[in-house]
Chain A
Amino acid sequence: MSAPELVEDFFRHEYGRLVATLVRRVGVQHLAAVEDAVQGALLTALQSWPLRGRPKQPSAWLYTVASNALVGQLRQGRRRQELLDQRLPVASAVQAPPDITVLGSEMQDDLLRLLFVCCHESLPEQTQVVLALKALCGFSVKEIAQRLLVRQASVYKRLERARARLRDHRELDDLGPAQYEQRMPAVHRIIYAVFTEGYLSNHASQAIRSELCREALRLGRLLVQHPQGQIPETFALLALMHLHAARLGAREDGAGGLVLLQDQDRSRWDAHEIAEGLQWLQRSAEGDRFCRYHAEAGIAAEHCLAPSFEQTGWQRIVQCYELLERISPSALHTLNRAVAVAEWKGPQAGLQVLAGLEPPTWLQGSYMWSAVLADLHRRCGHEAKAARYRELALDAAPSPAVRALLRRRFAQTLCD
């Protein structure tokens, strides 16, 4: 008799749920012990389930095993502490195990709560992202390093520092409505960061990238289930993520190469994702707030709704980029606006947007900057300048896939 398959990401998501629930019970200062207990419970399951069969309620089973291990470990720690210094024993941190039948919705709340703990303003944003990927999404240090393109040692160091901070500042764990409201922008930012990491990375495989996008969507949906998360910014963020996710599959050819927007097979865009994104976009418009996620979702929606590249609402896209630049000034946004302006009013107008702009070094040295200039100059008939920028763009390409894309693009436009 073979057990039915576990749902996708079961272990990883159980990890997050268990860590969140146990952290709420014993306090975030014990995060390291909680994570050890959860990791141990999953390993025990791996050893026990194949032999004795999977329990009817795997989540509850894991919870009991992890909880028992944690209680044992904390008791041991406390005894050691009492022997070390003869202080009064601290009150028992762990109460009786909760009624397992109510675990479902409580666990959702616990996950969200831990997300807000991770977003404490004393932690640098990159650390918040790493902590969320570890504690909530159940990725290992190695997996996080692969996904964020950083060294394992640096992920490890960030986690260590974050845990130390959470251990020493118990007040970080006190979460009332005021803290939820205060940390909301940070929560939006890290969900956005996880999504962008998945959507835009030039390095990782498509499987890894779409996994990150799915995780960001999962956290976004979690947030929107909570009354305090139901605000226009969250709706706009969800709209943005769904509308981008709709095009995820069509962005890549079968061989791992990237496909330009104008060459994408629009019938491969996910209609279901587009519909969901548009619903959230509509909800995000209720109220009088307009944030960068609104602008970005608006741009994504224009692309998703356009029947073809040529028939795209470039004028509205330009307006969205102008709003975006106002809310969150960045030369990258200006560069994007130049591309949209060029489609709307012609390449000369596009170049005019960039005239006088002093891009930061990272952007000037990037393939995006050179590739856009190469394209605009070619379309204006400035052949020498175009050729120079083409070379710069190819030199700056961060990966073979991007370089291949640029070559294809340049070859194609030269034949036009």
Chain B
Amino acid sequence: MTPPGNAARDDDAAARDAARPRRRARSRYLAQALAPLRLVFHDRLATTGVAILAAVVFMALAAPLVATHDPRAITERAEGSWITLGPEGWRVRTAIGDDPLYGLSVHGDGALAVGANGLATLFDGRDWTPWPRSTTATLRGVAHGAPGAIAVGDGGAVVWYGGGEPRAWQLGDTDLHGVAWVDDGRAALVVGAGEAVWHVPLAALEADGGDLTATATRLASPVGRGLLLRAVATDADGSAIAVGERGLALTWSPADTPGGAGVLHQLTLPTFRDFNGLHVDAASGRALIVGERGTLLRREGLDARWVEDPPPDTRALRGAWIGPDGRAFAVGRNGVALAFDGEAWRRDATGTERHFRAVAEVAGTPVAVGSDPFVDKLAPPSSAHWFGTDHLGRDLFSQNVYGSRIALLVGFLGAALVVLIGTNVGLLAGYYRGRTDTVLMRIVDVMYGIPFEPFAMILVLLFDPSLLIVILAISLLTWRTVARLIRSQVLSLAERPFVKAARVAGASDLRILYLHIAPNVLPLVFLELAIILGASIIAEATLSFLGLGPPQSISWGGILHNARLSGAWRTAWWWNIPPGAFIMITVLAVFFISRALEVIANPRLRGR
């Protein structure tokens, strides 16, 4: 059918034609676009769908505001952790506050633990009773004994607990790490940075607090390299041992004359690794030193030789404890807990990644305390992490919030691409018919012969995964349904009088197609857009779940992929449930909307 030539029209009409139909066409597009909207808002389910979808879109757009954390950031947490060893193994107990614990000292049936911000808390075998804080310094070492308790910490902080209010003292200005009672409890030996060893008489501590530097005696170190001393302990014969970095070990001998401060000698041990912790059982003379890379030095008695034990784990050990019967414990970073049964060391599972600083047996129960900032892995939902954390300690709520971005991006872009291709193919095939129709519809037939899911997977596998290839994989096949549907609609539209009228008026093929026919299939396009949107979101989630999603991106399917890959999904329910629920709710919302729009395609459904 050839359109009549333009010569038949006069200039006046041409001018009118140029101005008016565009406006009329625009309003026709608008009216057709608004019609589905009316349908949606007359259907209760569809209105619900729109509300849900709007919420998800808002979540995607405002993800940085909605998310509580950076979804990729590994979150760390510090707390006053403690674990106890029972018949079933180590058990993580409810943390005592947010301040990490650094030192633990046993006296009788109780123990005193000290930690950050001047924390000191007394353990009676069951509960912890915090003592009033007299300093904000980090307390690193503590000695609990008959005269009372003394704690030392950063910046030369010393706290004396002798009944009544604790008294804060200042001793030098370097960080102090360890303390032990010597001279039968008449003095304390304090060690710290710069090979500092102080002899502090008990009498000086019982005053009102203030500066101890003048009354205490600083002993000269025989090494003189300015190394850090980390721990000190009283030995069975009344002497003391102090250990520190690079294999530094000193022995302290009491003074021959009363009131003297004693002398230091260097002790050479079988290794030059950093030592972190020391414990001596004063009754039996058994001793244990722990240090970096699983260093374990053990002494069977006062006069026995120090022997290096083969470690079952080579991570840094921080805390040591050895009993009169030869049993021993060592704890360290990342939840490492070792036990010695008299013959060999073994590693016990603690079920946590917390870092431990000290261990001791209190009233028959081994207790370990920590924890410096540790990666909060696989944490169940809490007020800090609403959906818990994953295997790398990343916040899952934030991941789920950001996951909506990929889902909607791929969903909308994919659906738009599908509808664009499908509508145009349908329009061309339906309008031109003949050979154009045959060729296009044979292509559609071929498309129908390809199973969608395996094809999309293969396509992503063949090319390197990227956002573009995922969108292409999803849309390359799905336009087939749109093309068929639009074509059949156009076939009947093309026979309508208004198309014939347009043709007689001299409109070009493109004008008829896109200004006269296209607006009439627009509602159908909206319906398909909604259907394909749901399908695209599911397809993207499926690809991401199989590890074929856009790389370096956070998506709902990807979260579930990580969960499966880590193997922790069988226990971490908080990891599995939210992403799938988000997918389900979003797709359901889209389905609700598309159901209302189905009336366009099939008016007989109206009023159901």
A, B assembled together: no
